[in-house]
Amino acid sequence: MRARTALLLASAVPTVLTAACAALEAGCWELAVSRNEIRLSPKPRPSCSDCKGEGGWWSEGPYPGGEICWCWDRPTHRLRLLPVRDPWPDEPPF
């Protein structure tokens, strides 16, 4: 029973990761993982009719500047990770 459960779990993890990556690509999100946080940032939508997937445009006139498209103006989600404690805090780093 335990071997069957372990085998099922081992085969489910890659499937879930593949489905999560496909969902991130379809929803135009970028996943960044570091030692301190997991960040989910928006990307411009390729099907946007206003910016055509570029995320914004440059305005003309006496004060030119970039403007961001509505399809990219979404919040960034962050999950802060707890720092890992050093098992040997008194030992020198060399």
Q: Is the pLDDT of residue 65 over 80?
A: yes
pLDDT digits (tens, 9 = 90+) for 32-55: 888 888 898 888 888 888 888 888
pTM of the model: 0.55
Distances (CA, A) of 55 to 22, 25, 26, 34, 60: 21, 16, 16, 25, 17
The pLDDT value given to residue 35:
80
